[in-house]
Amino acid sequence: MNALRLLAVPAAALALTLSGATAAPAAPAAAPDPAPATVTISGPANGTTVQAHVGDTVQVEILAVRDYTVTWYWYALGTPTPALLSQTAGSAEPNGDSHGTFSVTAAGTAAITAIGRCVPDRGTICPPWAINWKVTLAVS
């Protein structure tokens, strides 16, 4: 019985020594990519920069704006940077609201734009300009 105990201790020590000698140092874990998210942008975000990640979905909703005797309707919601954003849906509603859905396909700086046009009340006129709406996306 003592002989077995004596053999067991050196065998256990040898196993510990070998396992320590052959183990490679652990590499630091890479930060996981963030899970795809839905980024929601609304009209008041005009002129701001919004953070997004590759793989995210961006949903934009700009509501018509009433201003005295005119209403500003939103049209042409889209992106001048289709290499970074792919528009998957979009509509301009009869009430002046505009909606769009974009898929973020690459890192960089992208933009989403829309044009606001005046629709006057009966008997009034619109100012001689349009409103430009733009949000910048910082995509990582």
Distance of CA 34 to the CA centre of its chain: 10
Q: Burial level of 102, CB count in 10 A (0-12/13-18/19+)?
A: buried
Distances in whole angstroms, Cα of residue 86 to Cα of each of 89, 90, 93, 101, 104: 9, 11, 21, 9, 7
The helix/strand/coil state of 83 is: coil
Do the Cβ atoms of 110 and 100 come closer than 8 Å?
no
Task: Give the domain ranges of the chain.
Answer: 38-139
Q: What is the pLDDT of residue 124?
A: 92
For the domain with range 38-139, which CATH number is right: 3.40.50.1100, 2.60.40.2020, 3.40.47.10, 1.10.3720.10?
A: 2.60.40.2020
The span from the CA of 45 to the CA of 47, in Å, is: 6
The span from the CA of 117 to the CA of 114, in Å, is: 10
Beta strand residue intervals within the chain, DSSP E: 38-42, 49-52, 57-62, 65-67, 70-78, 85-92, 98-104, 108-120, 131-139
Do the Cβ atoms of 116 and 65 come closer than 8 Å?
yes
Q: Which residues of the chain have pLDDT under 50?
A: 1-23
